[in-house]
Amino acid sequence: MKIKYEEKEYACSFEFALDIVSGKWKGLVLWHLHYGTLRYSEIRKNLGKITQKMLTQTLRDLEKHQLITRKVYPVVPPKVEYTITDAGKKLIPIFQQMMVWGDEMGELLGEVSKPNDMHHKKE
């Protein structure tokens, strides 16, 4: 199936899907949001080395592609919360399988230590 979206043409739906979720940070943002709604500062804290500019762009992309929602509260100082959508939640089982594959490949190719971060939190 060919897909046209935002002046791009994709040869197949797999290519389209990869374009939507590709990048270092999108999957990680979705992963953290699947545990619950977070504020910008909480997301940034969870991700560690991401720059403010990159996080802002990542959140905008995810919102544009309807994988997250952004809720702005009319208070001072501003309060903004991000929540994963049902479309975003559909990616979580795929990410879980990728984590299993990553664990297996890590054992095969690299040095492995026990997980102590939120990425490996059990459901």
User: Could you state, in order of their start, the residue ranges of all structural domains in the chain?
Assistant: 24-120
pTM reported for the whole predicted model? 0.86
* Helix segments in the chain, DSSP class H: 13-21, 26-33, 40-47, 52-64, 86-89, 92-109
pLDDT confidence of 118, banded at 50, 70, 90?
low
Question: pLDDT digit string (tens) for 59-78?
Answer: 999 999 999 999 999 999 88
- Nearest to residue 18, comparing CAs of 6, 10, 28, 7? 10
State the pLDDT at residue 116: 57
CATH fold of 24-120: Arc Repressor Mutant, subunit A (1.10.10)
